[in-house]
Amino acid sequence: MAHATSGAAAATESDFLLQAYTRLRQAVTDQTTSPANPNNILPSAATLTTSHIIPHLLSSAPPPLKTPESLSPHYYGFVTGAVLPIAEAADNLVTALDQNVQVHFPPSGPWTHSASTAVEAAALDMLVALLHLEPRAHHRHGNNDGATSVWRGKTFTTGATAANILGLACGREAVVGRRLAAAAAATGSSSTVSVSVAEAGLLEACRAAGVRGIRVLTSMGHSSLGKAASVVGLGRASVREGEGEPWRLDLDAVQRELAGAEAEGVVSIVVVSAGEVNTGRFATGLLDMPKLRSLADRYGAWIHVDGAFGLFARALPRTDEFLSLHASAAGLELADSIAADGHKLLNVPYDTGIFLCRDASILTQVCSNPNAAYLSSPGDADAILSPLNIGLENSRRFRALPVYAVLLSEGRQGIAAMLSRMVLLARAIATFVRDSEHYEWLPSADASLESTYIVVLFRATDAALNEGLVDRINSTGKMFVSGTKWDGKKAVRIAVGSWRVHVEKDAAVVREVLTAVADGR
Protein backbone atom coordinates (compact mmCIF):
# COMPACT_ATOMS: atom_id res chain seq x y z
CA MET A 1 0.00 0.00 0.00
CA ALA A 2 1.26 3.47 -0.84
CA HIS A 3 1.39 6.30 1.69
CA ALA A 4 1.32 10.03 0.97
CA THR A 5 3.77 12.22 2.92
CA SER A 6 2.55 15.06 5.13
CA GLY A 7 3.66 17.22 8.04
CA ALA A 8 1.28 15.39 10.36
CA ALA A 9 2.88 12.12 9.37
CA ALA A 10 6.32 13.39 10.32
CA ALA A 11 4.97 14.28 13.77
CA THR A 12 3.99 10.66 14.35
CA GLU A 13 7.28 9.27 13.09
CA SER A 14 8.92 8.78 16.49
CA ASP A 15 5.86 6.99 17.84
CA PHE A 16 5.75 4.77 14.79
CA LEU A 17 9.41 3.80 15.09
CA LEU A 18 9.11 3.08 18.80
CA GLN A 19 5.98 0.99 18.33
CA ALA A 20 7.37 -0.72 15.25
CA TYR A 21 10.62 -1.81 16.86
CA THR A 22 8.85 -2.89 20.04
CA ARG A 23 6.42 -4.99 18.01
CA LEU A 24 9.14 -6.45 15.78
CA ARG A 25 11.43 -7.29 18.70
CA GLN A 26 8.57 -8.89 20.62
CA ALA A 27 7.72 -11.01 17.58
CA VAL A 28 11.29 -12.31 17.48
CA THR A 29 11.20 -13.06 21.20
CA ASP A 30 7.85 -14.82 20.90
CA GLN A 31 9.11 -17.02 18.09
CA THR A 32 12.31 -18.05 19.84
CA THR A 33 10.57 -18.82 23.15
CA SER A 34 7.36 -20.39 21.88
CA PRO A 35 6.33 -24.02 22.55
CA ALA A 36 6.86 -24.64 18.83
CA ASN A 37 10.52 -23.83 19.30
CA PRO A 38 11.40 -25.44 22.67
CA ASN A 39 15.16 -25.68 22.13
CA ASN A 40 15.59 -22.12 20.87
CA ILE A 41 18.18 -23.19 18.29
CA LEU A 42 16.67 -22.40 14.93
CA PRO A 43 13.90 -19.87 14.38
CA SER A 44 10.77 -21.13 12.75
CA ALA A 45 10.04 -20.39 9.12
CA ALA A 46 7.40 -17.85 10.14
CA THR A 47 9.97 -15.66 11.88
CA LEU A 48 12.31 -15.20 8.97
CA THR A 49 9.74 -15.09 6.21
CA THR A 50 8.18 -12.22 8.19
CA SER A 51 4.82 -13.59 7.10
CA HIS A 52 3.12 -12.17 10.18
CA ILE A 53 5.57 -9.47 11.28
CA ILE A 54 5.95 -7.10 8.32
CA PRO A 55 2.32 -7.23 7.10
CA HIS A 56 1.08 -6.67 10.67
CA LEU A 57 3.39 -3.70 11.00
CA LEU A 58 2.22 -2.22 7.71
CA SER A 59 -1.42 -2.53 8.69
CA SER A 60 -1.05 0.29 11.20
CA ALA A 61 1.91 2.18 9.76
CA PRO A 62 1.67 5.95 9.30
CA PRO A 63 3.18 7.57 6.22
CA PRO A 64 6.68 6.04 6.11
CA LEU A 65 9.23 8.84 6.44
CA LYS A 66 12.88 9.49 7.74
CA THR A 67 16.65 10.23 6.81
CA PRO A 68 20.15 8.89 7.72
CA GLU A 69 22.80 11.50 7.11
CA SER A 70 20.40 14.37 7.66
CA LEU A 71 16.99 14.76 9.23
CA SER A 72 16.15 17.52 6.79
CA PRO A 73 14.87 17.45 3.22
CA HIS A 74 17.37 20.24 2.53
CA TYR A 75 20.40 17.96 2.59
CA TYR A 76 21.48 17.99 -1.06
CA GLY A 77 25.09 16.88 -0.70
CA PHE A 78 26.51 14.20 -2.95
CA VAL A 79 23.78 11.76 -4.04
CA THR A 80 22.60 10.63 -0.64
CA GLY A 81 19.24 9.06 -0.03
CA ALA A 82 17.24 9.01 3.16
CA VAL A 83 15.73 6.21 5.24
CA LEU A 84 12.02 5.56 5.24
CA PRO A 85 10.81 4.69 8.76
CA ILE A 86 9.54 1.31 7.58
CA ALA A 87 13.08 0.61 6.32
CA GLU A 88 14.59 1.76 9.61
CA ALA A 89 12.26 -0.51 11.55
CA ALA A 90 13.09 -3.42 9.26
CA ASP A 91 16.81 -2.71 9.66
CA ASN A 92 16.38 -2.94 13.43
CA LEU A 93 14.81 -6.34 12.89
CA VAL A 94 17.83 -7.29 10.79
CA THR A 95 20.01 -6.58 13.82
CA ALA A 96 17.69 -8.49 16.13
CA LEU A 97 17.66 -11.54 13.85
CA ASP A 98 21.42 -11.27 13.18
CA GLN A 99 21.33 -13.41 10.06
CA ASN A 100 24.45 -14.17 8.05
CA VAL A 101 23.01 -14.43 4.55
CA GLN A 102 25.37 -16.84 2.85
CA VAL A 103 23.91 -20.31 2.18
CA HIS A 104 20.44 -21.10 0.91
CA PHE A 105 18.78 -24.16 2.42
CA PRO A 106 15.32 -25.09 1.17
CA PRO A 107 12.72 -25.39 3.98
CA SER A 108 12.50 -28.86 5.47
CA GLY A 109 9.49 -29.82 7.57
CA PRO A 110 8.36 -27.16 10.06
CA TRP A 111 11.84 -25.64 10.27
CA THR A 112 14.02 -23.62 8.01
CA HIS A 113 17.70 -22.97 8.49
CA SER A 114 17.31 -19.48 7.09
CA ALA A 115 14.52 -18.00 5.04
CA SER A 116 16.50 -14.79 4.58
CA THR A 117 17.72 -16.06 1.21
CA ALA A 118 14.12 -16.54 0.06
CA VAL A 119 13.20 -13.02 1.17
CA GLU A 120 16.28 -11.69 -0.63
CA ALA A 121 15.36 -13.46 -3.87
CA ALA A 122 11.80 -12.13 -3.60
CA ALA A 123 13.03 -8.56 -2.99
CA LEU A 124 15.34 -8.72 -6.01
CA ASP A 125 12.56 -10.05 -8.22
CA MET A 126 10.34 -7.21 -7.00
CA LEU A 127 13.05 -4.70 -7.91
CA VAL A 128 13.38 -6.20 -11.38
CA ALA A 129 9.63 -5.78 -11.82
CA LEU A 130 9.61 -2.25 -10.37
CA LEU A 131 12.31 -1.18 -12.81
CA HIS A 132 10.73 -2.90 -15.82
CA LEU A 133 13.87 -4.93 -16.43
CA GLU A 134 12.18 -8.05 -17.70
CA PRO A 135 13.84 -8.92 -21.02
CA ARG A 136 11.73 -8.43 -24.11
CA ALA A 137 10.14 -11.65 -25.30
CA HIS A 138 11.79 -11.53 -28.72
CA HIS A 139 15.29 -10.70 -27.48
CA ARG A 140 17.71 -13.58 -27.77
CA HIS A 141 21.03 -13.35 -25.99
CA GLY A 142 22.99 -16.11 -24.38
CA ASN A 143 20.52 -18.87 -25.20
CA ASN A 144 18.49 -20.24 -28.05
CA ASP A 145 14.98 -20.24 -26.67
CA GLY A 146 14.09 -16.76 -27.90
CA ALA A 147 13.36 -15.39 -24.42
CA THR A 148 14.60 -15.17 -20.86
CA SER A 149 12.22 -14.28 -18.06
CA VAL A 150 14.47 -13.48 -15.09
CA TRP A 151 17.88 -12.14 -14.18
CA ARG A 152 19.20 -15.39 -12.71
CA GLY A 153 22.35 -13.84 -11.27
CA LYS A 154 21.22 -11.30 -8.69
CA THR A 155 22.49 -10.26 -5.30
CA PHE A 156 22.80 -7.40 -2.82
CA THR A 157 26.15 -5.70 -2.35
CA THR A 158 27.56 -2.93 -0.17
CA GLY A 159 26.86 -0.44 -2.95
CA ALA A 160 27.26 0.33 -6.63
CA THR A 161 31.06 0.30 -6.32
CA ALA A 162 30.99 -3.37 -5.28
CA ALA A 163 28.39 -4.01 -7.97
CA ASN A 164 30.66 -2.37 -10.56
CA ILE A 165 33.48 -4.64 -9.40
CA LEU A 166 31.21 -7.63 -10.00
CA GLY A 167 30.17 -6.21 -13.37
CA LEU A 168 33.76 -5.85 -14.60
CA ALA A 169 34.71 -9.23 -13.12
CA CYS A 170 31.84 -10.92 -14.96
CA GLY A 171 32.62 -8.97 -18.10
CA ARG A 172 36.28 -9.98 -17.92
CA GLU A 173 35.26 -13.61 -17.47
CA ALA A 174 32.83 -13.53 -20.38
CA VAL A 175 34.87 -11.69 -23.02
CA VAL A 176 37.98 -13.78 -22.41
CA GLY A 177 35.83 -16.91 -22.23
CA ARG A 178 34.39 -16.24 -25.67
CA ARG A 179 37.89 -15.97 -27.13
CA LEU A 180 38.87 -19.19 -25.34
CA ALA A 181 35.91 -20.97 -26.89
CA ALA A 182 36.80 -19.59 -30.33
CA ALA A 183 40.42 -20.69 -29.91
CA ALA A 184 39.32 -24.17 -28.91
CA ALA A 185 37.00 -24.41 -31.91
CA ALA A 186 39.74 -23.26 -34.26
CA THR A 187 42.35 -25.71 -32.97
CA GLY A 188 40.07 -28.57 -32.01
CA SER A 189 41.68 -28.53 -28.56
CA SER A 190 39.60 -29.51 -25.54
CA SER A 191 42.21 -28.28 -23.04
CA THR A 192 41.54 -24.64 -23.84
CA VAL A 193 37.85 -24.98 -23.00
CA SER A 194 38.63 -25.83 -19.37
CA VAL A 195 40.68 -22.65 -18.90
CA SER A 196 38.97 -19.60 -17.39
CA VAL A 197 40.03 -16.39 -15.73
CA ALA A 198 38.43 -17.56 -12.48
CA GLU A 199 40.46 -20.78 -12.42
CA ALA A 200 43.69 -20.00 -14.25
CA GLY A 201 44.01 -16.30 -13.57
CA LEU A 202 43.89 -13.34 -15.92
CA LEU A 203 47.36 -13.72 -17.45
CA GLU A 204 47.13 -17.45 -18.17
CA ALA A 205 43.57 -17.24 -19.52
CA CYS A 206 44.47 -14.33 -21.83
CA ARG A 207 47.56 -16.21 -23.05
CA ALA A 208 45.49 -19.31 -23.84
CA ALA A 209 42.84 -17.20 -25.57
CA GLY A 210 45.29 -15.11 -27.56
CA VAL A 211 43.98 -11.95 -25.90
CA ARG A 212 46.44 -9.07 -25.72
CA GLY A 213 44.37 -6.82 -23.48
CA ILE A 214 40.98 -5.90 -22.05
CA ARG A 215 39.53 -2.46 -22.64
CA VAL A 216 36.72 -0.67 -20.79
CA LEU A 217 34.81 1.81 -22.97
CA THR A 218 32.59 4.38 -21.29
CA SER A 219 31.51 8.02 -21.23
CA MET A 220 32.16 10.14 -18.17
CA GLY A 221 32.24 7.09 -15.93
CA HIS A 222 31.98 7.34 -12.16
CA SER A 223 35.26 7.32 -10.24
CA SER A 224 34.38 3.89 -8.84
CA LEU A 225 34.79 2.46 -12.33
CA GLY A 226 38.53 3.11 -12.21
CA LYS A 227 38.67 1.51 -8.78
CA ALA A 228 36.77 -1.53 -10.07
CA ALA A 229 39.12 -1.84 -13.04
CA SER A 230 42.06 -1.78 -10.65
CA VAL A 231 40.56 -4.37 -8.29
CA VAL A 232 39.78 -6.91 -11.03
CA GLY A 233 43.22 -6.59 -12.61
CA LEU A 234 42.37 -4.57 -15.71
CA GLY A 235 44.01 -1.41 -14.44
CA ARG A 236 42.72 2.15 -14.40
CA ALA A 237 44.45 2.81 -17.71
CA SER A 238 42.12 0.29 -19.37
CA VAL A 239 39.20 2.72 -18.93
CA ARG A 240 38.73 4.86 -22.04
CA GLU A 241 36.42 7.86 -22.02
CA GLY A 242 34.57 8.82 -25.20
CA GLU A 243 34.81 12.24 -26.81
CA GLY A 244 32.09 14.74 -27.69
CA GLU A 245 29.15 15.48 -25.40
CA PRO A 246 30.79 14.21 -22.22
CA TRP A 247 28.04 12.10 -20.70
CA ARG A 248 26.79 10.62 -23.99
CA LEU A 249 28.08 7.36 -25.38
CA ASP A 250 29.02 7.96 -29.03
CA LEU A 251 27.99 4.69 -30.67
CA ASP A 252 29.90 5.39 -33.88
CA ALA A 253 33.04 5.85 -31.79
CA VAL A 254 32.22 2.69 -29.83
CA GLN A 255 31.93 0.75 -33.08
CA ARG A 256 35.31 2.05 -34.25
CA GLU A 257 36.87 1.14 -30.89
CA LEU A 258 35.38 -2.37 -30.93
CA ALA A 259 36.49 -3.03 -34.49
CA GLY A 260 39.98 -1.69 -33.81
CA ALA A 261 40.26 -3.68 -30.59
CA GLU A 262 39.30 -6.90 -32.36
CA ALA A 263 42.02 -6.33 -34.94
CA GLU A 264 44.54 -5.79 -32.14
CA GLY A 265 43.52 -8.91 -30.22
CA VAL A 266 41.91 -6.80 -27.48
CA VAL A 267 38.50 -7.62 -25.96
CA SER A 268 36.09 -5.02 -24.62
CA ILE A 269 33.63 -4.20 -21.86
CA VAL A 270 31.26 -1.30 -22.52
CA VAL A 271 30.02 0.55 -19.43
CA VAL A 272 26.86 2.64 -19.79
CA SER A 273 26.52 5.44 -17.22
CA ALA A 274 22.83 5.75 -16.41
CA GLY A 275 22.93 8.99 -14.44
CA GLU A 276 26.27 10.80 -14.74
CA VAL A 277 27.20 11.96 -11.26
CA ASN A 278 27.70 15.69 -11.96
CA THR A 279 24.71 16.35 -14.21
CA GLY A 280 22.47 13.31 -13.73
CA ARG A 281 22.39 12.91 -17.54
CA PHE A 282 22.26 9.53 -19.27
CA ALA A 283 24.79 7.95 -21.63
CA THR A 284 22.19 6.49 -23.98
CA GLY A 285 18.87 7.50 -25.52
CA LEU A 286 15.73 5.89 -26.82
CA LEU A 287 17.22 3.91 -29.72
CA ASP A 288 20.82 3.53 -28.53
CA MET A 289 20.70 0.37 -26.46
CA PRO A 290 19.42 -1.95 -29.23
CA LYS A 291 22.23 -0.72 -31.47
CA LEU A 292 24.78 -1.13 -28.67
CA ARG A 293 23.48 -4.64 -28.00
CA SER A 294 23.95 -5.50 -31.66
CA LEU A 295 27.51 -4.15 -31.63
CA ALA A 296 28.38 -6.04 -28.45
CA ASP A 297 27.06 -9.31 -29.88
CA ARG A 298 28.98 -8.77 -33.12
CA TYR A 299 32.30 -8.10 -31.40
CA GLY A 300 31.90 -10.34 -28.35
CA ALA A 301 31.77 -7.42 -25.89
CA TRP A 302 30.06 -7.26 -22.50
CA ILE A 303 27.63 -4.45 -21.61
CA HIS A 304 27.53 -3.29 -18.00
CA VAL A 305 25.21 -0.52 -16.78
CA ASP A 306 26.31 1.69 -13.89
CA GLY A 307 22.86 2.80 -12.80
CA ALA A 308 23.62 3.79 -9.21
CA PHE A 309 20.77 6.30 -9.11
CA GLY A 310 19.81 6.70 -12.76
CA LEU A 311 18.31 3.23 -13.02
CA PHE A 312 15.39 4.35 -10.84
CA ALA A 313 14.20 6.74 -13.56
CA ARG A 314 12.56 3.62 -14.97
CA ALA A 315 10.21 3.59 -11.95
CA LEU A 316 8.86 7.10 -12.59
CA PRO A 317 5.24 7.43 -13.71
CA ARG A 318 4.82 6.98 -17.45
CA THR A 319 3.36 10.44 -17.91
CA ASP A 320 4.25 13.20 -20.37
CA GLU A 321 6.43 15.13 -17.91
CA PHE A 322 8.76 12.15 -17.51
CA LEU A 323 8.84 10.87 -21.09
CA SER A 324 12.30 12.31 -21.72
CA LEU A 325 13.74 10.47 -18.73
CA HIS A 326 12.06 7.23 -19.73
CA ALA A 327 13.61 7.63 -23.18
CA SER A 328 17.04 8.19 -21.61
CA ALA A 329 16.71 5.03 -19.51
CA ALA A 330 15.16 2.93 -22.29
CA GLY A 331 16.73 -0.35 -23.31
CA LEU A 332 18.89 -0.83 -20.22
CA GLU A 333 17.31 -4.26 -19.81
CA LEU A 334 19.40 -5.33 -22.82
CA ALA A 335 22.63 -5.13 -20.79
CA ASP A 336 24.56 -8.15 -19.55
CA SER A 337 24.90 -6.76 -16.02
CA ILE A 338 23.56 -3.83 -14.00
CA ALA A 339 24.69 -2.01 -10.84
CA ALA A 340 22.45 0.16 -8.69
CA ASP A 341 22.17 1.61 -5.20
CA GLY A 342 19.21 1.09 -2.90
CA HIS A 343 20.59 3.51 -0.31
CA LYS A 344 20.19 6.36 -2.76
CA LEU A 345 16.76 6.90 -4.30
CA LEU A 346 15.03 3.83 -2.85
CA ASN A 347 15.62 5.38 0.59
CA VAL A 348 16.78 2.27 2.44
CA PRO A 349 19.75 2.25 4.87
CA TYR A 350 23.41 2.09 3.97
CA ASP A 351 24.87 -0.18 2.81
CA THR A 352 22.54 -1.56 0.16
CA GLY A 353 23.73 -2.03 -3.39
CA ILE A 354 22.20 -4.18 -6.12
CA PHE A 355 23.85 -6.32 -8.79
CA LEU A 356 22.02 -8.07 -11.60
CA CYS A 357 23.64 -10.44 -14.09
CA ARG A 358 21.81 -12.05 -16.96
CA ASP A 359 24.03 -15.15 -16.99
CA ALA A 360 24.14 -16.74 -13.53
CA SER A 361 26.81 -19.21 -14.63
CA ILE A 362 29.24 -16.35 -15.30
CA LEU A 363 28.57 -14.85 -11.87
CA THR A 364 28.98 -18.17 -10.06
CA GLN A 365 32.14 -18.87 -12.04
CA VAL A 366 33.58 -15.62 -10.72
CA CYS A 367 32.32 -15.85 -7.13
CA SER A 368 32.04 -19.58 -6.42
CA ASN A 369 33.29 -20.48 -2.94
CA PRO A 370 34.84 -23.94 -3.49
CA ASN A 371 36.28 -26.61 -1.20
CA ALA A 372 34.06 -25.85 1.79
CA ALA A 373 31.78 -28.85 2.25
CA TYR A 374 30.29 -27.36 5.42
CA LEU A 375 28.91 -24.47 3.35
CA SER A 376 27.37 -26.58 0.60
CA SER A 377 23.65 -26.39 -0.01
CA PRO A 378 21.44 -29.40 -0.70
CA GLY A 379 19.48 -29.72 -3.92
CA ASP A 380 17.33 -26.65 -4.35
CA ALA A 381 13.98 -27.08 -6.05
CA ASP A 382 13.33 -23.33 -6.23
CA ALA A 383 16.80 -22.69 -7.66
CA ILE A 384 17.73 -19.86 -5.28
CA LEU A 385 21.49 -19.49 -5.43
CA SER A 386 23.53 -19.28 -2.24
CA PRO A 387 24.72 -15.66 -1.86
CA LEU A 388 28.30 -16.63 -1.01
CA ASN A 389 28.59 -18.11 -4.53
CA ILE A 390 27.29 -15.04 -6.35
CA GLY A 391 28.79 -12.16 -4.38
CA LEU A 392 32.01 -10.79 -2.93
CA GLU A 393 31.29 -11.61 0.69
CA ASN A 394 30.90 -14.81 2.66
CA SER A 395 29.48 -12.90 5.61
CA ARG A 396 27.03 -10.02 5.47
CA ARG A 397 23.89 -8.55 6.91
CA PHE A 398 20.35 -9.32 5.83
CA ARG A 399 20.33 -6.25 3.56
CA ALA A 400 17.27 -7.41 1.67
CA LEU A 401 14.76 -6.96 4.50
CA PRO A 402 14.55 -3.12 4.47
CA VAL A 403 14.21 -3.26 0.67
CA TYR A 404 11.50 -5.90 0.94
CA ALA A 405 9.65 -3.85 3.56
CA VAL A 406 9.77 -0.67 1.47
CA LEU A 407 8.59 -2.44 -1.67
CA LEU A 408 5.68 -4.00 0.25
CA SER A 409 4.83 -0.77 2.05
CA GLU A 410 5.07 1.70 -0.82
CA GLY A 411 4.33 -0.42 -3.84
CA ARG A 412 4.93 0.77 -7.39
CA GLN A 413 2.59 3.76 -6.97
CA GLY A 414 4.17 5.02 -3.75
CA ILE A 415 7.72 4.73 -5.04
CA ALA A 416 6.77 6.45 -8.30
CA ALA A 417 5.22 9.32 -6.33
CA MET A 418 8.33 9.64 -4.14
CA LEU A 419 10.63 9.75 -7.17
CA SER A 420 8.33 12.23 -8.91
CA ARG A 421 8.67 14.70 -6.05
CA MET A 422 12.46 14.46 -6.23
CA VAL A 423 12.51 15.15 -9.97
CA LEU A 424 9.99 17.99 -9.79
CA LEU A 425 11.94 19.72 -7.02
CA ALA A 426 15.17 19.40 -9.05
CA ARG A 427 13.38 20.93 -12.05
CA ALA A 428 12.02 23.79 -9.94
CA ILE A 429 15.54 24.56 -8.73
CA ALA A 430 16.93 24.27 -12.26
CA THR A 431 14.29 26.72 -13.49
CA PHE A 432 15.31 29.27 -10.86
CA VAL A 433 19.02 28.87 -11.64
CA ARG A 434 18.43 29.07 -15.39
CA ASP A 435 16.43 32.30 -15.08
CA SER A 436 18.66 33.97 -12.49
CA GLU A 437 21.14 36.67 -13.48
CA HIS A 438 23.39 35.52 -10.64
CA TYR A 439 23.86 31.91 -11.66
CA GLU A 440 24.80 29.84 -14.69
CA TRP A 441 22.91 26.59 -15.19
CA LEU A 442 25.19 23.78 -16.28
CA PRO A 443 25.98 22.06 -18.52
CA SER A 444 24.19 24.61 -20.74
CA ALA A 445 21.52 27.25 -20.33
CA ASP A 446 19.61 26.03 -23.37
CA ALA A 447 19.22 22.45 -22.12
CA SER A 448 15.73 21.03 -21.80
CA LEU A 449 14.23 21.05 -18.32
CA GLU A 450 12.71 17.67 -19.17
CA SER A 451 16.23 16.25 -19.23
CA THR A 452 16.71 17.19 -15.56
CA TYR A 453 16.53 14.17 -13.29
CA ILE A 454 17.53 14.66 -9.64
CA VAL A 455 20.77 16.64 -10.03
CA VAL A 456 21.16 20.40 -10.63
CA LEU A 457 24.63 21.67 -11.55
CA PHE A 458 25.42 25.40 -11.56
CA ARG A 459 27.96 28.09 -10.73
CA ALA A 460 27.86 31.79 -9.84
CA THR A 461 28.30 34.22 -12.72
CA ASP A 462 30.53 36.32 -10.43
CA ALA A 463 33.94 34.60 -10.38
CA ALA A 464 34.82 35.75 -6.85
CA LEU A 465 31.51 34.54 -5.44
CA ASN A 466 31.87 31.26 -7.29
CA GLU A 467 35.18 30.51 -5.56
CA GLY A 468 33.50 30.32 -2.17
CA LEU A 469 29.95 29.53 -3.26
CA VAL A 470 29.67 26.09 -1.66
CA ASP A 471 30.83 27.39 1.72
CA ARG A 472 28.58 30.44 1.49
CA ILE A 473 25.53 28.27 0.84
CA ASN A 474 26.32 25.70 3.51
CA SER A 475 27.18 28.33 6.14
CA THR A 476 23.57 29.53 6.06
CA GLY A 477 22.62 26.31 7.84
CA LYS A 478 19.45 26.19 5.77
CA MET A 479 20.65 23.71 3.16
CA PHE A 480 23.71 21.65 2.32
CA VAL A 481 25.26 21.20 -1.13
CA SER A 482 28.41 19.58 -2.50
CA GLY A 483 31.10 21.11 -4.65
CA THR A 484 32.50 19.76 -7.90
CA LYS A 485 34.12 21.00 -11.11
CA TRP A 486 32.79 21.44 -14.63
CA ASP A 487 34.98 22.47 -17.57
CA GLY A 488 37.83 23.01 -15.13
CA LYS A 489 35.95 25.55 -12.99
CA LYS A 490 34.31 25.18 -9.62
CA ALA A 491 30.63 24.34 -9.59
CA VAL A 492 27.86 23.50 -7.14
CA ARG A 493 25.80 20.37 -7.30
CA ILE A 494 22.40 19.90 -5.72
CA ALA A 495 21.24 16.28 -5.57
CA VAL A 496 17.67 15.60 -4.45
CA GLY A 497 17.29 12.17 -2.91
CA SER A 498 15.00 12.27 0.13
CA TRP A 499 11.43 11.05 0.46
CA ARG A 500 10.86 14.12 2.63
CA VAL A 501 10.68 16.39 -0.40
CA HIS A 502 7.85 18.92 -0.55
CA VAL A 503 8.27 20.54 -3.96
CA GLU A 504 6.80 24.02 -3.33
CA LYS A 505 8.15 24.51 0.21
CA ASP A 506 11.62 23.17 -0.50
CA ALA A 507 11.97 25.08 -3.76
CA ALA A 508 11.11 28.28 -1.87
CA VAL A 509 13.86 27.57 0.68
CA VAL A 510 16.44 27.00 -2.06
CA ARG A 511 15.42 30.17 -3.92
CA GLU A 512 15.64 32.21 -0.71
CA VAL A 513 19.10 30.87 0.16
CA LEU A 514 20.57 31.30 -3.32
CA THR A 515 19.12 34.79 -3.63
CA ALA A 516 20.50 35.84 -0.23
CA VAL A 517 23.95 34.44 -1.03
CA ALA A 518 24.02 36.24 -4.40
CA ASP A 519 22.97 39.51 -2.71
CA GLY A 520 25.69 39.13 -0.07
CA ARG A 521 23.22 38.76 2.78
Residues 424, 401: Cα–Cα separation, whole Å: 29
Q: Which segments of 436-502 does DSSP mark as H helices, in order?
A: 463-467, 469-474
Residues 460, 478: Cα–Cα separation, whole Å: 19
* Number of CB atoms found within 10 A of residue 56's CB: 14
* Number of CB atoms found within 10 A of residue 216's CB: 27
What integer pLDDT is reported at residue 56 of this predicted model? 55
H-run or E-run covering 30: helix 13-32
What integer pLDDT is reported at residue 372 of this predicted model? 72
Per-position DSSP letters for 202-241, written without gaps between them:
HHHHHHHHT--EEEEEESS--HHHHHHHHHTTS-GGGEEE
> How many helices (H) does the chain have, and how many strands (E)?
18, 11
Residues 22, 486: Cα–Cα separation, whole Å: 49
SS3 326: helix
Which residue, among 87, 89, 95, has the nearest Cα to 347 in the 3D structure? 87
Mean pLDDT by 10 residues, the chain (521 residues): 44 71 68 54 47 54 40 85 89 88 75 79 95 64 43 95 98 96 80 79 95 95 94 96 81 95 96 94 94 97 97 97 97 97 95 96 92 65 82 94 94 96 98 97 89 97 97 94 94 96 96 96 83
